[in-house]
Chains A and B, each alone.
Chain A
Amino acid sequence: MVSDGAVIQFEDVHKSFDENHVLRGLSFDVPKGKVTTILGPSGSGKSVLLKHIIGVLKADSGTVRVLGQDVARLNRSGVQALRKRIGVLFQSSALFDSMSVLENVAFGLRMHAKMPEGEVRAKVAECLRRVNLSGVEDMAPSELSGGMRKRAALARAIAMDPAIILYDEPTTGLDPKTTNVVGDLILDIQGQIDITAIVVTHDMPLALRISDKIALIYRGVIASQGTPKEIETSEEDIIRRFVRGEL
Chain B
Amino acid sequence: MTALFKFIGRRAYGFFGHLYRMWTYALASVLEARNVYFYRRQIIEQFYWIGVETLPLVCLISVFTGMAISIQTAYQMSDYVPRYMVGSIVVKSTVLELAPTMMALVIAGRVGAGIASEIGTMKVSEQVDALQSMAVDPVGYLMMPRVLGGLIMVPVLVIFSEVVAIGGGFAIAVLKMGLSPIEFVKGMRLDFYPYDVFVGLVKAMTYGGLITFIGSYMGLETKGGAAGVGTAATTSVVFSSALILISDYFITHTLLNI
Chain B 120-140 near chain A by CB (<8 Å), digits 1 or 0: 011001110110111111000
Residues of B in contact, count (CB < 8 Å): 14
Do residues B134 and A83 form an inter-chain contact, with CB atoms below 8 A?
yes
In the complex, which residues 76-101 of chain A have their Cβ closer than 8 Å to any Cβ of chain B?
A: 80-81, 83-84, 86-88, 90-92, 94-98
In the complex, which residues 127-167 of chain B have their Cβ closer than 8 Å to any Cβ of chain A?
A: 127, 129-130, 132-137
Do residues B126 and A83 form an inter-chain contact, with CB atoms below 8 A?
no
What number of A-B contacts does a CB cutoff of 8 Å give? 50
Do residues B126 and A111 form an inter-chain contact, with CB atoms below 8 A?
no
List, in ascending order, chain B residues with CB within 8 A of A81's CB.
135
Do residues A56 and B126 form an inter-chain contact, with CB atoms below 8 A?
no
Query: Would you call the interface of chain A mostly helix, strand, loop, or mixed?
Result: loop
Name the CB-closest residue of B to A56: B132
Judge if A54 is at the interface, Cβ distance under 8 Å. yes
Judge if A108 is at the interface, Cβ distance under 8 Å. yes
Interface residues on A, range: 20 to 34
CB distance from A75 to the nearest CB of B (A): 13
Q: How far is the CA of A111 from the CA of B35 in the complex (A)?
A: 12
Name the CB-closest residue of B to A92: B126
Do residues A94 and B134 form an inter-chain contact, with CB atoms below 8 A?
no
CB distance from B133 to the nearest CB of A (A): 4
Do residues A88 and B135 form an inter-chain contact, with CB atoms below 8 A?
no
Question: Which among B118, B125, B135 is the interface contact of A94 at CB below 8 angstroms?
Answer: B125
Do residues A96 and B134 form an inter-chain contact, with CB atoms below 8 A?
no
Q: How far is the CA of A94 from the CA of B123 in the complex (A)?
A: 10
Chain B interface (Cβ < 8 Å from any Cβ of A): 118, 121-122, 125-127, 129-130, 132-137
Chain A interface (Cβ < 8 Å from any Cβ of B): 54, 56, 80-81, 83-84, 86-88, 90-92, 94-98, 107-108, 111-112, 160
